[in-house]
Amino acid sequence: MTVNEPVNKDTEMHPLVRWQFRGGISEPDRKAFLFTNITDSRGRTYDLPVVIGALAANRKIYSIGMGVELDEIGDAWSHAMANPIPPVEVPDGPCQEVVLTGADLEGEGKGLDALPIPISTPGFDSAPYFTATGVITRDPETGTQNMGTYRAGLKSPNRLAIRMSGRAGGAEGAIHWKKYHARGERMPIAIVMGCSPAVCYCAPQKLRIGLDEMAVAGAINGAPVNVVRGKTVDLLIPAEAELVIEGYVDPDYVEPEAPFGESHGHIALEDYNNIVEVTAITRKKDCVIPSIISQVTPSESSVIKRVAYEPLWLGHLRDHLGIKGVKRVSMHEPLTNIRRVVFVVFERGVPTTEIWRALYGAATLNASVGKYIIAVNEDIDPDNGDAVLWALAYRANPALDVQILPHRDKGHGPKSDKRGGREEASMLIDATLKADMPPVALPKKEYMEHAKDLWEKLGLPPLTPEVPWFGYSLGDWSDEWDAMAKRAAEGHYLENGRRSAQLRRNDVAPNTSIRDVIDNKRDA
């Protein structure tokens, strides 16, 4: 959607797009927004447009960017990581059509201050922030580049603060900075925005240490990514990027950064973080600046991660650990940011030992994912909280089906809870069926489908079926009972009455199961 009306980047832009994530808009109907007439709270106007939602306002947009259907995304990632295609350096590229250095970066209204960077969480954020970033750093020992998505807050026309998480499983850029710090050298850095979708999706992906994200992006695209050398830093930068911020990270000094609305759904409070002294801003002449919706989930940020993470966890369990019967992995998105609650969905009849192998395996793949890991059967929709509670209520015994794993890193989240220091735990729950159960007490599918047709003929409000919306067997159901139900539905319940009359007894207490009597008689 193109918005040509004036929109204030400081107070209106992100709140407007936010409504499609918090206003009851269904996921497939969420859109990208292109803002062409941008103002700020000081009355300034900007020539460059901003786009929000272009990377992953919904899952379909993500699949278009990947160039494959949704159900092929997992295989595409696995193939790309196993078969990277190194980038190719070219002499020049569109990302350097406009180059600003020196005096062009100094003074109000110049450098970073001339860019229409929005405030993500008006009322809480302390500055405009780059959010849709690919932050390139290089290991000073191996020479391998890394690209991660880190937030970067504007501080002055030629200075910004960047947060690279130093926790376990955090940012590889933070590992690089520690090495530069030990050497007493400034770390070169390039913050790129608006690359090809494959490059953008690689930045927040969790790849193994030392694997070049741009090589994986090349494999996704099926051709090498063209890169150019930075104008003021010795780094290789995607040649087709919309905007590039070059600079150096101070090896010693840090300064306060934030508050900022983080992807864990709370405001990240003010911390000391790294300082970047900007040495160049380069861009296309017709640059479009991307920004992403993050903060409370669902968000564009969580869609980008979820669509990529779920197949990775599935591949880990099914292919690396060899666990049979795993149908899919689902990461809960609304409010919990996909990392905290993970569901492993199984087919019926999987041995308990395999279910527990999967729960332990899912807990150990990444330090920041899996505070609660719940195994369910495939008739339970993990996105339906009522269905999940149904499974917990009737298929899990807390005394037998729950395990606590201590000594887990708190990972990505607010720091308000000081109990346990940096540690918390993971709870593993087996909420799968342990034995056959009676059918779900809803009309069979054919009757519900017929009733739905009748509903629609009567012009009643549109239906949005929720699983379970029809009854089905859970194993504890006989052919004889099925025949009885069929006779009743056909109007012949009297025949069932004649059957039960023939089975009368005077030596059985009320509430005794017929199987206890009939089976005991047969055994005798």
Rounded to whole angstroms, the Cα distance separating 140 from 189 reads 12
Hey, where are the domains in the chain?
74-291, 321-430, 445-523
CATH number of 74-291: 2.30.110.10
pLDDT confidence of residue 201:
96
Per-residue pLDDT tens for 232-256? Answer: 999 999 999 999 999 999 999 999 9
**Structure token digits, residue 135:** 């932050």
Answer yes or no: pTM beyond 0.85: yes
Q: Which residues contact 108 (CB under 8 A, 6 or more apart)?
A: 157
What does each of the 524 residues of the chain score in pLDDT, given as a tens digit?
999 999 999 999 999 999 999 999 999 999 999 999 999 999 999 999 999 999 999 999 999 999 999 989 989 998 999 999 999 999 999 999 999 999 999 999 999 999 999 999 999 999 999 999 999 999 999 999 999 999 999 999 999 999 998 876 679 999 999 999 999 999 999 999 999 999 999 999 878 888 999 999 999 999 999 999 999 999 999 999 999 999 999 999 999 999 999 988 999 999 999 999 999 999 999 999 999 999 999 999 999 999 999 998 999 999 999 999 999 999 999 999 999 999 999 999 999 999 999 999 999 998 889 999 999 999 999 999 999 999 999 999 999 999 999 988 777 778 767 776 778 899 999 999 999 999 999 999 999 999 999 999 999 999 999 889 999 999 999 999 999 999 999 999 999 999 999 999 999 999 999 988 876 655 54
Per-residue pLDDT tens for 165-178? Answer: 887 667 999 999 99
Residue 281: count of CB within 10 angstroms of its CB: 25
pLDDT confidence of residue 520:
60
Rounded to whole angstroms, the Cα distance separating 200 from 12 reads 25
CA distances from 195 to 39, 134, 284, 321, 374 (A): 25, 9, 11, 35, 37
- Classified as helix, coil or strand, 424 is strand
Biggest alpha carbon–alpha carbon distance for the chain = 102
pLDDT confidence of residue 521:
57
**Average pLDDT in the chain:** 94
CA distances from 326 to 78, 319, 364, 383 (A): 17, 10, 17, 17
Residue corresponding to tokens 């020539």: 47
Helix or strand (DSSP H, E) at 80? helix 73-82
pLDDT confidence of residue 415:
72
Exposure class string for 125-152: b at 16+ Cβ within 10 A, else e: bbbbbbbbbbbbbbbeeeeebbbbbbbb
Exposure class string for 353-378: b at 16+ Cβ within 10 A, else e: ebbeebbebbbebbbbbbbebbbbbe
Per-residue pLDDT tens for 41-93? Answer: 999 999 999 999 999 999 999 999 999 999 899 899 989 999 999 999 999 99
- The CA-to-CA distance between both ends of the chain, in Å, stands at 76
Contact indicator for 193, 281 with CB cutoff of 8 Å = no
CATH number of 321-430: 3.40.1670.10
Contact indicator for 167, 411 with CB cutoff of 8 Å = yes
